[in-house]
Structure 1
Amino acid sequence: MTSTPTVTKSPPALIPPAGPTPCGTLPFSSIDKTVAGSGFVNLMQVFPPPSISAARKDQGAVAAVAAMRNGFARALVPYYPVAGRIASSGLAVDCTGEGIWFVEAAASCTLADVDGLDSCPLLIPGELLLPRPPPGEKLSDLILIAQATRFTCGGFAVGIRFSHAVFDGHGAAQFLTAVGELARGLKAPSVAPVWDRDAIPEAPSPLPGQLTEFRLVTQVVDISAESIARVKDEFKQAAATSTGEVCSTFDAVTAVVFKCRALALASALPDETEVRMAFAASTRHLLRGVLPTVEGYYGNCVFLACATRTGKAVREATLAEVVGAVREAKEAVPARFAGWMRGVEQYDVPPLDYSTVTLSDWSRLGFDEVDYGFGAPGTSGDVHSVGGDVPVNDEMTMMTS
């Protein structure tokens, strides 16, 4: 299309819980508090027109959005903390039962006109596809807000902003799955939600200090299946004479990014400067026996892993050796996490500088399986605004499409 696409938004509307909910204050867990400074996570799910027509061929877009709104209202009953607000301390949820803000929007183009929202930068500014609360309501007080944008082809984009202090990625996907199930008419979510934040002991180790907010550079890189297979094969051959370990897709992708980043920094940093590859590792399995039940728990279960080497070491290493460094950082997480819970290990945050790259793996969280009645999304993943201040480090996301 020749003209610049536009998005027309309706005023934000409040969706309260569909029934009575408990009141009171629920404190965050010690893990929630470590990521509370991360603010909001931006999620975009794109539903192409074929899935709309297949799932709701007898209903229009208005009915589809109405069903989605009803799904949110019903989900906010079992997930009643989400209908509340972040307490003034920033360390708890006030269960006020107010609800979530929901925005309906219409784009002036088809999804095909904007490359299916699968390009970087987006052909529609991300902020137009993400919800904002009404004037007078602070975003930082909210837990989740949503926007459904309809395209002229019949496709949809659903933009979600959720508080990282309340959800990790797995937990947010669990909530949105429940919204979809209830929007499609199920009587109850297939997984019952569990709060139980107080079951996680307060770690004696001090929490990291308040982080400076940066505008990060987001990169989109396609790493072919053939390249991933080559890295896995190289590691398999190298490990055959030693440990016999297996290289996962995550290991391979992370190693390629780490090595390419080190090569890109070769002319900018001295050889002995440390370069870092940081990534969040799930600790959900490590909380069995700590939480009454892990199933249904939607709080944060993450611990930051970090592979650190000199730039020269990463550049000169084989990819199999870089995979080994990534695996070493992963394998250290259980002991480091247990030490942090006992207060003998710091929750170290790597320096957010030019020598650090952070990678988030969204490929198995479940966002790509959420069905609000539109069918499964064609693509789903993180959304970042482009522009602003000079960046100090890179952030990359393994996304599902």
Structure 2
Amino acid sequence: MTDALRKLPLSLQHVFAMFGATVLVPLLTGLNPGATLVASGLGTLVFHLVTRGKVPAYLGSSFAFIAPLALFVSKHHAPGQAVAGLLSVSIVYFAFALLVRLVGFDRVRRAIPSVVVGPVVSIIGLSLATTAVTVDASTHWDVAIVTLAAAVACAIAGPRALRIIPILAGIVIGYLYALARGLVHVGQAASSSWIELPTLHAPVWSLAAIASMAPIALVTMVEDLGHMFVLNEIIERDVTRDPGFGSILFGNGLATLLSALLGGPAETTYAENLGVLAMTRNYSSRIIQGAAVIAILLGLVGKVSTVIESVPAAVVGGVGILLYGMIAAMGIRHMIEAKVDLTNTKNLIVVAVIFILGIGAPQNGIAIATVAGLLIYWLLPDRTQA
């Protein structure tokens, strides 16, 4: 019991890190936020079961499927068709998981050089910069600065108890500051119910839904690979080898299948939570699993979920600046440790194209940039040595 209480703040950090993005997807698509939280928690637990607890990652709502989900749920009022589309996504994941196991990930990994991996890792963090700064922090810059300063101070100069939970400490201090400023509104908690159960929808098979969602799985799998590269840098262990990228894909596919049946969106590994890992240097999967259990409870308890939703966007932006920046720095570190030669013109072009496409492309920029970087690296000749 004592150990569980000690890990509770560490798990709460991960809950706050994923909460905003995970809840935003159902708000944009018409899905139920409570069901989405329950699905993310159960999906994460299933993912950890499949990967044998060797991949400390949290699975939350994928942004890649917002457009088709909004089309079938909000516009066409056909949640059953959306479920069918998401089930097809899980099937694509299963098929590629089997393919990776048959072919062997080593062949896949050899095709992806460090000059591509490094900048892809960086743009995973940098692509979230606009969300952290323009969307969230800019709503109230003073709140964001107080939150960021508190998190940094706790991480560097705080007592040991705070150094292991700097993100949570920053959020609490930022929240209290925002509360004093009159920027926190929790009035809805009084009117919300205590228990809210997900509304289940049976799949209604639709070729249009399947055609609009299944191909997007190829994009999210590339993003998953990028996230695993980030995780490898953080924990200094290659999870694509053990438990293997095939297991990771299968776990993600199973999480998406479960989420679809519960009325949630597609699931994907979260860069936000990778930032928490990098910041705290605590890589225990038990802590992530604790966050998953908390997410399930929040999805079922309406009043508690409403209070957490009251955390101002500026507080989220303040910690986001730190978390996303840590991920970007990891990519630079990877290139340094891999001794990538940036005096080589071809290497410099690869990095340049990945950065600009990854940050500039409004939709699926990470996947587009990864493919572009690989094509340049493998198809263009290297004449710098001639």
TM range (shorter): under 0.3
Query: Could you say which structure has the greater relative contact order, defined with CA pairs below 8 angstroms and 6 or more residues apart?
Result: 2
Which has more radius of gyration?
A: 1
